[in-house]
């Protein structure tokens, strides 16, 4: 039997990168998937069509998850199409690089809104639905930047550390019916890291026991583990998936 057979999953920011990999793997494991996007309908439709080719069901919903009205509409569309929401993956986010001495109020606000406020809004809406049906799973995508001070990008690191706190707080408050966990990826080969210099990626790989950056599919497998009954006794935890990079500190 497939691990997510009969489940309905919302994956925010799933038109590309890690979110796309999660949406596709969940579909392969039997889930009906709500593909959320904010910019490219074309990319979202590609994911939906791939899921249909797999033999599962999916819809694409445009929603800015940093806005409460959009989040409500996202969940309403999910329920209208599939009747319920069993799994939420909070993946949507941005990376705006600034050094600690280069505080930029606009970038700070945008990062916190997109990375942290969005998670709070989506979890709030999800637990409302999941409490009614007395079951549910939430998987939040944090980052190793939120679990250790690797330097640079303080707004990004603060937003991802905030996700870790929210993960633990919601897990404590809404167990045992709702499980809430997080994943802290290292550098992953996505559009978000495409702007990194070759030198930075090489340095990262050298400092990593696995000697490479990660793949979106490797984060997707971790998300599947946390979303499925394979992790039925795990909640309030953070699974670091960084090839061992955190060991160099």
**Known catalytic residues?**
156
Q: φ, ψ for residue 59 (rounded to 5)?
A: -135, 155
Alpha-carbon distance of 109 to 146, in angstroms, equals: 17
Q: What are the Cα distances from residue 45, in Å, to 68, 77, 210?
A: 24, 16, 34
Q: DSSP per residue over 16-60, as a string?
A: SHHHHHHHHHHHHTT-EEEEEESS-HHHHHHHHHHHHHHT--EEE
Query: b/e per residue, 30-41, with b = 16+ CB within 10 A?
Result: bbbbbbbbbeee
């Amino acid at each position: 039997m497939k691990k997510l057979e009969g489940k309905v999953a919302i994956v925010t920011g799933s038109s590309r990168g890690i979110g796309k990999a999660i949406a596709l793997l969940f579909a392969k494991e039997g889930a009906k998937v709500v593909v959320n996007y904010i910019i490219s309908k074309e990319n979202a439709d590609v994911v939906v069509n791939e899921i249909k080719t797999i033999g599962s069901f999916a819809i694409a919903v445009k929603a800015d998850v940093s806005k409460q009205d959009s989040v409500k509409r996202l969940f309403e569309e999910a329920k209208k199409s599939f009747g319920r929401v069993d799994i939420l993956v909070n993946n949507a986010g941005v990376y705006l690089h600034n050094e600690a001495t280069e505080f930029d109020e606009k970038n700070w606000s945008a990062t916190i809104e997109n990375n942290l406020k969005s998670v709070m809004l989506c979890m709030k809406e999800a637990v409302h639905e999941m409490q009614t049906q007395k079951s549910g799973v939430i998987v939040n995508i944090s980052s190793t930047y939120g679990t250790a001070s690797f330097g640079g990008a303080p707004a990004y690191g603060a937003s991802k550390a905030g996700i870790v706190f929210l993960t633990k707080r919601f897990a404590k408050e809404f167990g045992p019916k709702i499980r809430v966990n997080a994943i802290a990826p290292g550098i992953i080969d996505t559009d978000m890291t495409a702007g990194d210099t070759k030198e930075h990626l090489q340095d990262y790989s050298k400092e990593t026991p696995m000697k490479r950056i990660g793949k979106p599919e490797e984060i997707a497998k971790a998300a599947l583990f946390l979303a499925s009954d394979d992790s039925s006794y795990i909640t309030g935890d953070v699974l670091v998936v960084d090839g061992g990079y955190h060991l160099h500190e």
